[in-house]
Amino acid sequence: MAYQVLSLKWRPQTFNEVVGQDHVTHTLTNAFKKDRVAQAYLFTGPRGVGKTTTARLVSKALNCLNSPGDFCNSCSNCTEITDGRNMDVLEIDGASNRGIDEIRNLREMIQYTPMNAQYKIFIIDEVHMLTTQAFNALLRTLEEPPKHGKFILATTDIQKVPATIISRCQRFDFNRITVSDIIDHVGTILQAEKVTIDDESVKALAAKADGSMRDALSILDQLIAYCGDKISFDDSTVVMGLIPHDTFFNVTRALKAKDVKSIVQLLHETRMLGISAGELTIGLNKHIRNLLLASVPEALDIYDMNLELKERYGIVSKEWDRRDLLRIAGILTDIEPKIQRATQPYILLEMMCLKLIEMDSSVSLENLLKQLKKPNQFGENDPSAVSQPSAQYEKNESGQNPVFEDKVQEEKEDKSPQEKLNVSPGIDVKLKQEKAGNESNPTSGNSINLEEVQSVWDQVINEVSVNRPSIGTILDHCRVNKVHGKVLEVIMTGQPKFNLNLLEKNKKLIEIQLEKSIEKSVILRFKIDEKEDSSSAGSTKNTEEQKENNTENKDLTLLQIIERFDGELLN
């Protein structure tokens, strides 16, 4: 006798042998007992979960000669249906017979009474492949077939089946078979086949099957052919193309250490082993999921995983911030379909890993604000501590850092930090203006022209906006007022007072851009439009003085946030 594959040899022959679909088999069994049989059934679900097998069992239950409803599997009709040669049970492939002509032939055939059975049954597999015209031709017959006619439709893609067809059938949704059910059923088969296998191999096989019993038995056939009567995990890894857990742990270790050389070497090794980029991405995503769950007490207990691996995930998860793992999982999920469609998937995977290496660690905004509000040794907030991180990126073409160097120089010259902290913004601006006036010694040869500055002012604003968009926005509300030697007076209008402090802190940057445009040294003095300030403060002077004390800390915090994130005030 020719060899028969396990998926056919161990095909269920009774409702009790159907694995993982109790909600379907129990309903059908009760329907036969109570003689409540529908004219059409629609079975939908993933591949390899028992749809076609259940359709054959329903045919046996309807046409058994000895005990209809509870078929015997021994009469001629049951035997013929099992062998697929019963003349009254016709299996039609919807993919091959999808046109309107085939459906017309079916409508003619169903009019004839069955030869040896009670019902003439049509099983249409992959019914979603029928054309729209074929579906329309089937509607009337499906709703009111002859008394001896029954339809059983099966599909893996219920979305493509018209609602008019679904409404005329009793619909049964088949679920993916659980890993535990696959393990139990495979164990029963291996015991009957007298084949030994270790637990790790069975778990790996069940996970690889992804809820399909037919896939699980096909993989088992391969394992037996490769390993013989004894299946080991090492052999299973080779046959199923499994990726070792160490590979994923090495990848995440390299990402954590930002080791570019190691990540490139790991991807090269997996490629040489013949592992597809898609499988590696899916496995890495599951690995990140396991790390996330390991950070939650007892979350990994719901998965079939050995104790040693669970402990390893628990140790490694402590090295990671959960927010970083969530960001990585999001990137992997987005790139999975792209890798499946890419012509060079490993190049795309390498670029993604390099992107993950360059990814910064997550920072809690709440903790960041707490650090901003943390008092210094003098009991007040220090704005300069916030402005330094943003200033370190403001470099000119020569690679110098004018803003940061200017701050350092000012701190060296300031010998009374307590006085500096107690100076109000207006007095501080005045002192800086007087200092700039003392330093400037205008001469006729080095003096600058007002029209010349006004002609390049828009260009200066654009150059400053490239490095500091927030400062560029403030400069849009400034105008050049007058020139005295090398001293240039700039008036700010329509802006809050604390924006004047931002201009003072970035004065060196603006001066450098202006000097590059006019090729002359410049000393800037910033002022608020006194006319606008006096007119707005005429009737509300006392009210503003009262509010100033209440909002001083709030403005200072807002100023620090704008400096840190290079933002701007919109309202």
Q: Domain total for the chain?
A: 4
Which stretch of 146-160, 189-203, 556-570 has the lowest confidence by average pLDDT?
Answer: 556-570
Q: Span 145-171, mean pLDDT?
A: 93
> Do 212 and 114 share a structural domain?
no
Tens-digit pLDDT profile for residues 233-271: 888 888 888 888 889 999 999 998 889 999 999 999 888
Per DSSP bridges, beta strands 149-155 and 230-231 are unpaired
Hey, CA dihedral for 537, 541, 544, 545, is it positive or negative? positive
Residue 530, pLDDT score: 66
- Look at residue 78 and tell me whether its pLDDT is greater than 50: yes
SS (H, E, C) 385-437: HHHHHHHCCCCCCCCCCHHHHHHHHHHHHCCCHHHHHHCCHHHHHHHHHHHHH
> Do 133 and 45 share a structural domain?
yes
Q: Span 558-563, mean pLDDT?
A: 64
For residues 283 and 249, the answer to whether their CB atoms sit within 8 Å is: no
Q: Residue 190, Cβ neighbours under 10 Å: how many?
A: 19
Say which CATH number the domain at 190 has. Answer: 1.10.8.60
> Do 214 and 286 share a structural domain?
no
| Token duo for residue 4 | 């028969």
Tens-digit pLDDT profile for residues 172-227: 999 999 988 999 999 999 999 899 988 888 888 988 888 899 999 999 999 999 98
Residue 458, pLDDT score: 84
Q: What is the mean pLDDT of the chain?
A: 80
For residues 223 and 237, the answer to whether their CB atoms sit within 8 Å is: no
- Euclidean distance between the first and final Cα of the chain, in Å? 85
Residue 413, pLDDT score: 46
56 belongs to a structural domain: yes
Residue 300, pLDDT score: 76
Q: Span 153-160, mean pLDDT?
A: 93
500 belongs to a structural domain: yes
Exposure string (b/e) for 45-58, b if CB count within 10 Å is 16 or more?
Answer: beebbbbbbbbbbb
Q: Domain end: 173, 202, 227, which one?
A: 173
For residues 334 and 326, the answer to whether their CB atoms sit within 8 Å is: no
Residue 21, pLDDT score: 92
Q: Which residues have CB under 8 Å from 203's CB, separation 6+?
A: 179, 183, 304
- Look at residue 129 and tell me whether its pLDDT is greater than 90: yes
Residue 160, pLDDT score: 93
Residue 189, pLDDT score: 92
Q: Domain end: 196, 222, 240, which one?
A: 240
375 belongs to a structural domain: no
The structure tokens 């239950």 sit at: 61
Q: Which residues have CB under 8 Å from 474's CB, separation 6+?
A: 492, 495, 499, 502, 503, 568
* More confident of the two residues 386 and 347: 347
Residue 559, pLDDT score: 62
Q: What band does 384 get if pLDDT is binned at 50, 70 and 90?
A: very low
> Do 401 and 330 share a structural domain?
no
136 belongs to a structural domain: yes
Q: What is the CA radius of gyration of the chain?
A: 39
> Do 17 and 130 share a structural domain?
yes
Residue 406, pLDDT score: 47
Tens-digit pLDDT profile for residues 418-469: 444 344 444 444 444 444 444 444 444 456 788 888 888 888 888 888 878 8
> Do 319 and 351 share a structural domain?
yes
> Do 249 and 164 share a structural domain?
no
* More confident of the two residues 303 and 273: 273
Percentage above 90 pLDDT, the chain: 31
Domain that holds residue 235: 179-240
Say which CATH number the domain at 548 has. Answer: 3.30.300.180
The helix/strand/coil state of 217 is helix
| Token duo for residue 34 | 């109570």
The helix/strand/coil state of 118 is coil
- Look at residue 408 and tell me whether its pLDDT is greater than 80: no
407 belongs to a structural domain: yes
> Do 194 and 278 share a structural domain?
no
Q: What band does 392 get if pLDDT is binned at 50, 70 and 90?
A: very low
Model pTM score? 0.59
* More confident of the two residues 134 and 234: 134
- C-alpha dist (Å) from residue 275 to 202, 283, 484: 21, 11, 73
> Do 127 and 81 share a structural domain?
yes
> Do 208 and 105 share a structural domain?
no
Say which CATH number the domain at 24 has. Answer: 3.40.50.300
Which stretch of 338-342, 384-388, 430-434 has the lowest confidence by average pLDDT?
Answer: 384-388
Q: Domain end: 140, 173, 206, which one?
A: 173
Tens-digit pLDDT profile for residues 22-38: 999 999 999 998 889 99
DSSP notation for 301-336: GGS---HHHHHHHHHHHTTS-HHHHHHHHHHHHHHH
- Look at residue 169 and tell me whether its pLDDT is greater than 80: yes
Count of positions (residues) in the chain: 571
Provide the phi-psi class of 491: left if phi over 0, else alpha when psi is between -120 and 50, else beta: beta
* More confident of the two residues 126 and 360: 126
363 belongs to a structural domain: no
Residue 161, pLDDT score: 94
> Do 144 and 36 share a structural domain?
yes
100 belongs to a structural domain: yes
> Do 21 and 130 share a structural domain?
yes
Percentage above 70 pLDDT, the chain: 79
Angle between helix 365-373 and 541-565 (nearest 10): 130
368 belongs to a structural domain: no
